[in-house]
Structures are given as C-alpha cells and as structure tokens.
Structure 1
C-alpha cells in the first residue's frame, strides 16, 4: 500500500541530483564541500536537495567541527525496496486478472 512515507521517499529520490547524491553516499559519508566537488552543483542548490533528503529520512547528518557530514539511512531505503518488491509481487500475481469493461 502506498503510504505518505513511501510517496515522500519516491519524490525525494525522483530528482536526478538527489539520486546522484544518494549514489555517492553509498560509498562513504561526505560533507557538502565533497558533494559540491562531485556533482558540480552550487552549494545553495545542494543544501536544498540535502534538506529534502534529510526530511524524507534518506540521509542523516553528523557534525564534525565546522563541517556536516551526510550518510545514508539504509533502513529507509530497505523499507522502500520492500514496498517496491511487494508491488512487483502483486503485479505478478494479478497479471492475468482483468476487470470487465462496461
């Protein structure tokens, strides 16, 4: 079932830059400076995207001196994987089913 949490996660990951950030964070925790270097995005734009990811529960922060490091929250992504897997299973089970028209 599509919940508001799933919808928010899907919306957060639908943006190409946010998806790129998530892919980069699968390898290591990175600060905004690193993400600017890796993506070429402006810091203000990147900060807005990181806020969306944080609010969706995809990333968490870790202060380190004057920098903030970002890392993925694997449990949030695992929840989304389970949701998408359930959708695929449901589609397989109902593939031959068809509602009559009229």
Structure 2
C-alpha cells in the first residue's frame, strides 16, 4: 500500500499533474517548467523531487542542464498505470491545453540567457 499512497500523493497537487502533462511532450529543465508554471524555482524543484521519489520522473545531466522526463513506470505498477492513463486524461482541460500549446515557445537558452 505504501507505493500506491506515494504515487497518489505525488499526483494530488495540480502543479505536479501539469508537470507530468508537459513531460509527456518533451524533456524539460527546471527553468522551463518554472517559466510555464509561473512559480519559483525552489517550488518546481520540490515538486520534481516528489515526482521522482514516486517513480514518475527521473533526471539526467546533459552538459549544463539537468533534464527531467517521465519514467517508463517500471519501478512501480502504480506509477506505470497512472502514467499510462494520464496520457489520455485531461487533454480537453483548457488550462492544460493552453500550457501544452505554449511549450514550443519555451526555450531554455532564452530563459537562462546562455
């Protein structure tokens, strides 16, 4: 039951669900997520840590960047199930649709001025 609760708690916050929905479309760094969510960097990092602990996302260093992306769910059947279902859920939500529409405009090089 611990694993189930960990995954459901991770997905109980709207910002974390938005992160999952964005990561369905591309891997992203904290600064890109912060730009779309319009919340501060420490909050984004905290959300990502919770999602990572639940087995929903993982990070990988790529030069200067730390990229976050969805896991394949292999660490938990609950994570796999929710990730699979979330691919189909909320696509018609106006807030999610607007956020996804803005994704191509978000470029880490512009945000971080590197």
Is this a same-fold pair by TM over 0.5? yes
Which position in structure 2 is the counterpart of 1:78? 80
Q: Which has the larger radius of gyration?
A: 1
Distance in 2 (alpha carbons) for counterparts of 1:50 and 1:14: 13
CA distance in 1, matches of 2:28, 2:57: 11
Q: How many residues align?
A: 80
Q: Which runs of 4+ in 1 moved over 6 A?
A: none
Q: Post-superposition shift, 1:24?
A: 0.5
> Could you say which structure has the greater relative contact order, defined with CA pairs below 8 angstroms and 6 or more residues apart?
2
Are 1:59 and 2:61 an aligned pair? no
The CA RMSD over aligned residues, in Å, is: 1.7
Shift of 1:81: 6.9
Q: Which blocks of at least 5 consecutive residues in structure 1 are unaligned? A: 83-102
TM-score by length of structure 1 reads 0.71
In structure 2, relative to structure 1, the CA distance for the partners of 1:80 and 1:42 (3 Å cut) is same
Q: Secondary structure at the match of 1:28?
A: coil
CA contact (8 A) 1:6 1:80 kept: no
Tell me what 1:96 maps to. Answer: none
Instruction: Provide the TM-score with structure 2 as the length reference.
Output: 0.64
Contact 1:62–1:70 (8 Å) recurs in 2: yes
Write the deviation string for residues 61-81 of structure 1: whole angstroms up to 9, x where unpaired: 110112100000132532347
Gaps of 5+ in 2: 85-114
